Amino acid sequence: MEAITLNPALLQKLASKTAIITGAAGGIGSETARLFVAHGANVVIADLAQTRPAAEKVIASLSDPSRAIFVPANTLDWEQMKALYKTAIERFGSVEVVVANAGVMEGHPVLDADRVDETGDPVEPKEAYRVIDINVKGTLNTLLLALHYMKDNAPAADGSRGSIVLVSSVSGYFGGTGVVGYVTSKHGITGLLRSSQVEAAKRNVRINAIAPFVTPSAMSAGFAKEYVSRGLEANTPEGVATAIADIAMDETRRGDCFMTCGKIIREMESSLKRITGVWLGNDAAETMAKAGSFFTDIGGYVLPKLAAISEANNSS
């Protein structure tokens, strides 16, 4: 497992960059905005329209409020998200960094099969649907638009035209808490990190992720005080923001994910790749490697034309 020591010098690379940060009216997002502006970046704080008072309070607290704007945007609304990117480019000229931070957690147990309606039937898990929509679909929208609008950026020293950081969670690798909607969605972010690398390479955009462990926030309010009182290792929003900045500005990082747990920071993806043979057995690992080479040779996975997808496309 690769232990990570954050490099403070990387923060200097934020100067004059423009970053879009979703879900930035509070928590990790707002601390990331503060850190970026403090080191000379322009920041577009994106969040739901009703968060405007909180977002404006964040902007007023910045070391240079003139470097930040608030743009109301629901990550699930394609038109609002397009407008977000266009507004950022109109105001600051380009977007070099995107932090896909917006995310939520359910407020009821998703698999509570004893939760029934007035007829005695199980309650449809609409809350879980919403969690998966925001955390996965919203992140997908943010990522796809970033890839599109970064294509016109001048290349950096390493040839990259932009840097995208997906905010996952330790729940994107482990799922023992039983928080079904959230854990499922964060595993989706891990899949998005991995599956996006082919297109990222084509466009010279770096896509990495951050996987915070317990971080005091609205999501952990029900247990955070007791957790910390027991002396258990925990993040601070400021610490996670620093890790986001580090992986965003480190030109050597492509397809990596930093797990952050207070002072403990580990890189997850390359470490998993190194132990694939131990995990699956060398024969299975070699078979999968050969299959990967095959798909590279033929230009990528050949996509099917499924009736269910065709019908969906025709109805949209």
- Is the pLDDT score of 238 beyond 80? yes
Using only C-alpha atoms, what is the Rg of the chain? 20
Residue intervals of the chain classified under CATH 3.40.50.720 are 2-274
Mean pLDDT over residues 185-195, rounded?
Answer: 97
Rounded to 5, what percent of the chain is helix, strand, coil?
A: 50, 15, 35
Active site residues: 182
Paired with 259 in beta bridges are 211, 266
* Digit-coded pLDDT (tens) for 75-111: 999 999 999 999 999 999 999 999 999 999 999 899 9
What is the rounded CA–CA span in Å between residue 163 and residue 49? 26
Contacts of 127 (CB under 8 A, 6+ apart): 106, 107, 108, 110, 181
Mean pLDDT of the chain: 93
pLDDT category of residue 167 using cuts at 50, 70 and 90: very high
**Which residue shows structure tokens 């599109």?**
148
Q: Given this model, what pLDDT does residue 154 score? A: 93
CB 210 within 8 A of CB 245: no
Residue 311 has pLDDT above 80, yes or no: no
Q: What is the pLDDT of residues 16-38, one digit of tens each?
A: 999 999 999 999 999 999 999 99
Q: What is the pLDDT of residue 281?
A: 94
pLDDT score, position 248: 98
**Pick among 3.40.50.1820, 3.30.420.40, 3.40.50.720, 3.80.10.10: CATH of 2-274:** 3.40.50.720
Phi, psi of 170 (to 5 degrees): -55, -25
The whole-angstrom separation of Cα 316 and Cα 310 is 10
Predicted TM-score of the model (pTM): 0.93
CA dihedral 65, 71, 74, 75 (to 10 degrees): -80
| pLDDT for the residue 220 | 67
Helix axes 138-150, 78-92, angle to 10 degrees: 40
267 DSSP β-pair partners: 2, 258
Phi, psi of 264 (to 5 degrees): -95, 120
Higher-pLDDT residue of 275, 208: 208
